[in-house]
Chains A and B, each alone.
Chain A
């Protein structure tokens, strides 16, 4: 691919941090303001994707390595499931908001709503990691006639 211009590189270096921060805000305040885990996760992933587009995938993989993104992908989903099972164990029903029952919290404050912000964080981790991986895989895989795609992916994985 042709290298991107200096303008693109400089501007994206300036904004990547802000995009990431904004993503974190959307995730953490998901239970109070519009947004939430999925939206925030997409914004978080878009920070890495911008890095990938402007600087190439090697640079992006430095900030979110493949061997970290892959476990995050599974861990986010598992964390969400654990929250659900917690409800089954402690509250009697799947996904009962057990924390809300124990600590009601003050409405409209950050620490509030029990497991909902935790669910948002779990979803954000999952969405961010998997969206990043999807776009990474799209840039890695070059489907030639007759296959050979699996090898590319395995070399990535072994790195």
Chain B
């Protein structure tokens, strides 16, 4: 717990050391970035099972900023750390095509710092600041290639991202105006005491729109299919794999479930938004021929699943239904969130490997690559089956739990939509397999070689994780990893108590401190 701020301090310091390194030695930047993400992964792994509240600078909560580590933030933290470590290893060879690698890693580290901060913070305004740190770094990373379409995508992303940020900021301002505090737990306490008036409900709507834009739920998704494919492949993996979850989904559910407390209307909104995202985006994915664009649309669809899971859990919770069913919905959503981070980053990395080898993203220009690039093909196949929901793989279990939660809470229509979208998802990825890896090589395609080992290893590890993560549902790992996260969403008062308890404990200490100073 003492080392918790290092989760933010390490990437931040590395981000500012990297531009100072000599430009002639790009390998130094590679090493430093890999070491930093490895350190973050080790640190996050060490924090397993721990929970607590860290008061920055020793200032007590309602006034000072706190970092809150609990089951939910740990789950997102370890996902970010794992994906960013594997992505930096992949980047070491992949980014050789680009100049200015120091700058690339500096922006990458800033993005990681922003995500870790947004996940850990217990303060609304601080949340906004960290979201902006991560978002601004990602705008620059999307434009990293500096070609026309990349700049255009980045500009679109920046404009829509800024609109999202201003919604969030306006929401925070309204909340501060109404309740006089920006500490999440303190806000939650005041909301419980006085209830939601119209202005508070308006700010709730602003949060759903703002974070919904960041998470690319369907009516707010227009930027994602441009922005994610335009970035270099490792960055696409980060953006689709973890960024939209850390600063979009996670922030939204933290605010909805722990600050406001979920109501039936909010839960319905989440379910409807999730289902629309699921259905519309997968139909859009089906007609894409640009591999990365297809993956980007499928990301929106999968985020829809996550939102549906949270919505179902929230609906049961708000209606005072069985806590077991509510927990089932949350469990499915959280498990799918982590699973999607793993298989979608794998799919984007393999698309990067294909682009690295063949120089194209168009499915029609590939074909027959399975023989020439067996490792990439194998990894891509595992990820495709996982995202399509084929039984022994992780994606099957998380989708199954979400569908089970829908059925057992009586939302049959939503369950049906989830099943149908799962079939379409499988179709989309079979299309990828058929046109990229199977069949005959497209006319005019040169023969290619498998990508270097530094790119194969992260892909292989992620493919193994796609298989192995199914084991997280065994009672032992589930109790240690997933259940604490579910518990955070189920029990809003416990979150408030954990932070405000620290406030009173620290408050007593600080008063004595001040007395000593006066004497």
Contact = CB atoms under 8 A, between A and B. Distances in A.
A81 B6 CA distance: 11
B16 A78 contact: yes
Contacts of A96: 57-58
Chain B interface secondary structure, helix, strand, loop or mixed? helix
Interface residues of B, number: 23
A80 B55 CA distance: 18
Given A74-B20, A84-B5, A91 B58 contact: yes
A104 B148 CA distance: 56
A147 interface: yes
A62 B148 CA distance: 33
A81 B57 contact: no
Contacts of A143: 151
A149 interface: yes
Contact of A74 (B17, B100, B147): B17
Contact of A81 (B12, B20, B148): B12
Interface in A49-104: 70-71, 73-75, 77-78, 81, 84-85, 87-88, 91-97, 104
Contacts of A94: 5, 9, 54, 56-57
B16 A150 contact: no
Contacts, number: 58
Given A146-B148, A147-B146, A78 B13 contact: yes
Contact of B9 (A74, A81, A104): A81
B104 to A, nearest CB: 12
Q: What's the interface size class on A, roughly?
A: 20 to 34
B19 interface: yes
Nearest to A157: B23
Contact of B19 (A74, A84, A91): A74
A145 interface: yes
B192 interface: no
B517 interface: yes
20 contacts: A70-B19, A71-B20, A73-B19, A74-B19, A75-B20, A81-B9, A81-B12, A81-B13, A84-B9, A92-B2, A93-B57, A93-B58, A94-B9, A95-B5, A97-B57, A145-B148, A147-B146, A150-B99, A150-B146, A157-B23
Given A93-B54, A143-B151, 10 more contacts: A81-B16, A91-B58, A95-B56, A95-B57, A145-B148, A147-B146, A147-B147, A147-B148, A154-B99, A157-B23
Instruction: Enumerate the 3 nearest inter-chain pairs by beta-carbon distance, A residue then B residue, closest first.
Output: A94-B5, A95-B57, A74-B16
